[in-house]
A and B are shown apart, each in its own frame.
Chain A
Amino acid sequence: MMGNEMKGLYIGTMNLISSSLAEDGMVQLKRLRHGFLKIKIESSMTGILKNEGLQYAEVGRDLYALGDSASHMAHVTGQNINRSICNGILDSKEEKAEIILKLLIETLIGKANGENSLCCYSVPAETSEGEHRVVYHSEVMNEMLKSLGYRPLAVNEGLALVFSSLAARRFTGMGISCGGGLLNVCLAHQAHMIESFSVDRGGDWIDENASKVLGMPLRAVTMAKEKGTALDLEKPTTRIEKAIAVYYKEMIRYAIEIMRKRIEGSRKCSIFQDPIDIVFSGAVALPKGFVSIFSQEISKVGFPLKVGQISLAHDLEYAIARGCLIKAMSEVL
């Protein structure tokens, strides 16, 4: 694989994660939150932003806070952060989405180093029939990566998860990535995608609903939810945790119902004779009890496939970025 530059890029709703094969036999994983927020400040004052360690960019005449700095500023000023990506794909309603996304991607992966540079990036599945929005998104991403000198290659997000996490099962099983906006599901058989679809619910849906029923600010709910394994969905303690657990369970039930219907309606799924493993990625799957609730719920519905092991991907936040790099490496072999 020497002489070929290989990169993987996960494009999530909240995060951009890159994976690059370095010459010393190591892989470098980098992560950026990609929100942005336009701020009004004299350009002569930008030195202060820099001294404070805030992340920003000056685009044309405008100044944008980026990443975590944008989240903090949005919080203190009561605004909503802007994201380049909405439900996994480029938000073309955001005027500066594309330019800021390109800026952040270049920050992560840099310009290609020579002609044999391959960048394999993740794309979600379509959410609705006839939408074809992913096609447009992929086209824009292709252009963006080409302008940085890379040969771009799109890989379905759930399939990338299967690549990184189900090698021991000969890349057969189900990968479900759980992000802020969507759950992306991919059912694969020996590395071939059999079914892929996304469910229009994710971490943000839990926050919005819990915040409504509790009459609490969204931010307070998000903070209570983002405690990772310190939150136990089967033993919620506070009022907020109880509401979060209710909506987690509802999201899981809903996703299983969509999966059941899709698989029942698919003749291709008869290819699965043995039980399939299911693996999850994404920070939404972090809380304790997630896998256990999923297992209980799926066993209640008469799921059309035999299910084997259900587990979280190793180092689950980086699993898709690793899968993208695996795909890039496999292309060069």
Chain B
Amino acid sequence: MADQESPVVSDEIKVVHLAEIPTKMIKAGELENIARALAELTAQKPVEEISVPEKTEAIVIPQAEARSSRGILGDISFSLGKLTGSVVNSFNKEEGAS
């Protein structure tokens, strides 16, 4: 990749490739009826959008422990398909990647 010396790395997005996105269609009529009922009900009083709870009992579960890197070659089978060995070997093996 060019320009290795430059201290400024831009976040410019150059290329994006997304495989087909799963899409499904439903009829709008039913949602419209519900929206109408909702509009009628909330016309009387505005709906509160976000509430910040007064207190909470929730506990915080630590993030999943980082899994150790496994040998790439042993596992390479299905997902990477026909990618060549040299490409595969250059995948980032660091944990957490970013």
Contact = CB atoms under 8 A, between A and B. Distances in A.
Interface of A: 1, 21-22, 25-32, 37-43, 45-46, 48-50, 52-61, 66-69, 72-73, 75-80, 82, 86, 94-96, 99, 103, 107-108, 123, 125-129, 132, 134-135, 138, 153-156, 159, 163-164, 167, 170-171, 190-193, 195-201, 204-205, 207-208, 217-218, 257-258, 261-262, 265, 318, 322, 325-327, 329-331, 333
A201 B80 CA distance: 33
A74 B59 CA distance: 28
Name the prevailing secondary structure of the A interface residues.
mixed
Contacts of B68: 78
9 tightest CB-CB pairs across the interface, nearest first? A78-B70, A72-B79, A329-B35, A38-B97, A330-B39, A330-B38, A333-B39, A330-B35, A40-B92
Contact of B56 (A26, A28, A126, A171): A126
Contacts of B95: 79-80
Nearest to A156: B50
A196 B51 contact: yes
Contact of A52 (B12, B24, B82): B82
A1 B39 CA distance: 13
Interface residues of B, number: 78
B86 to A, nearest CB: 9
28 contacts: A1-B32, A22-B25, A31-B22, A32-B21, A38-B97, A38-B98, A39-B91, A41-B87, A48-B83, A49-B17, A52-B83, A54-B17, A55-B17, A57-B17, A59-B12, A60-B11, A73-B91, A79-B67, A99-B13, A159-B47, A164-B31, A167-B33, A167-B34, A195-B53, A196-B51, A217-B67, A258-B58, A262-B56
Given A30-B21, A39-B91, A330-B35, A58 B54 contact: no
Contacts, number: 258
A41 B53 contact: no
A192 B28 contact: no
B18 A107 contact: yes
A155 B49 contact: yes
Nearest to A266: B54
A21 B84 CA distance: 43
Contacts of A25: 27-29
Contact of B57 (A48, A107, A171, A262): A262
B31 A27 contact: yes
A123 B50 contact: yes
Contact of A99 (B11, B39, B57, B67): B11
Contacts of A96: 11, 98
Given A55-B19, A99-B11, A156-B49, A77 B57 contact: no
B31 to A, nearest CB: 5
A319 B27 CA distance: 14
Given A129-B53, A191-B41, A77 B9 contact: no
A163 B34 contact: yes
B18 A46 contact: no
A160 to B, nearest CB: 11
Nearest to A322: B31
B81 A28 contact: no
B42 A191 contact: yes
Given A61-B1, A129-B55, A197-B53, A31 B21 contact: yes
Which of A42, A66, A103, A128 neighbours the largest number of chain B CB atoms within 10 Å of its CB? Answer: A128
Given A52-B81, A56-B17, A218-B67, A28 B87 contact: no
Given A25-B28, A60-B9, A78-B68, 15 more contacts: A27-B28, A28-B24, A31-B22, A38-B98, A39-B92, A73-B80, A76-B79, A80-B64, A126-B52, A127-B58, A135-B50, A156-B50, A191-B38, A205-B61, A326-B35
